[in-house]
Amino acid sequence: MSEATLFGLCGAALVGLGLYGLICHPGALRKILAFNLIGSGVFLLFGIVARRGAASGFGGDPVPQALVITGLVVAFAATALAVALVLRLAQTSGRTGLDPERPGQPEGTRRTES
């Protein structure tokens, strides 16, 4: 098995793992972490496409590599925004999850701000 195939299967497994965490974790921050795992799995899939496309004296196809770099930067921006949203949610409602059915916050942590 070439290293591209091996890491491609790795990427597929990462997407599955991240998806499971995204569905099953109640905490919003954990969902963000899981989403980042999915992202890195997808980037790895791009990476093997780049590796297999090695030609013209390059170690890999530069176009998917450039897309991954763009993607990493945008993923960071999205993560920073999502984290700020979660912190703001916790600040205003005391909740750390996204489930609207369970507003239950411990006494003293609630601060109404509206």
Partner 1 sequence: MSLTAPVDLGLALLLLGLAVWVIAASATYRAAEGFIAYGLVLALVWVRLGSVDVALTEAALGSGLTGLLLLRAAARLPPADPAERARPAKGVRVLAGLLCAVVTAGLAAVVLLLPEPAPTLAPAAAASLPATGVGNPVTGVLLAYRAVDTLGESIVLVLALIGLWSLAPDAAWGGRPGALTTAPAGSALRFLAQVLPPFGILVGIHLLWVGADHPGGKFQGATVLAAMWVLVIIAGLRRPPPVTSRATRWLVVVGSLIFVGIGAAGIWLAEAFLAYPDGLAKPLILAIEAALTLSVAVILGLLLAGPPEAERPTERRS
Partner 2 sequence: MPEFLLAAAAFVLATVALGLVRVLRGPSDADRLLAAQLLGTGGVAALLLLGVATAEAAVGDLALVLTLLAAFASVGFVTGLGRADAADPRPEATAGGDPERPDEAGRGPG
Asked whether position 104 contacts partner 2 by CB under 8 A, the answer is: no
Q: Answer yes or no whether residue 90 interacts with partner 1 by CB under 8 A.
A: yes
Binding-site member from 13, 35, 100, 112 for partner 1 (CB under 8 A): 13
**Nearest Cα to 40, choosing from 19, 60, 26, 57?**
19
105 binds partner 1 (CB under 8 A): yes
* 8: enclosing H helix or E strand: helix 3-24
Could you tell me the smallest distance in angstroms from the CB atom of residue 91 to partner 2? 7
4 interacts with partner 2 by CB under 8 A: no
C-beta of 108: minimal distance to partner 1 in Å? 10
Is 106 an interacting residue with respect to partner 1 (CB under 8 A)?
yes
Site track for partner 1 across 59-88, x = CB under 8 A: xxxxx-xxxxxx-xxxxxxxxxx-xxxxxx
Helix axes of 62-93 and 28-52: crossing angle, nearest 10 degrees: 180
Secondary structure, 3-state, 48-72: HHHHHCCCCCCCCCHHHHHHHHHHH
111 binds partner 1 (CB under 8 A): no
User: What are the Cα distances from residue 6, in Å, to 2, 45, 51?
Assistant: 6, 11, 12
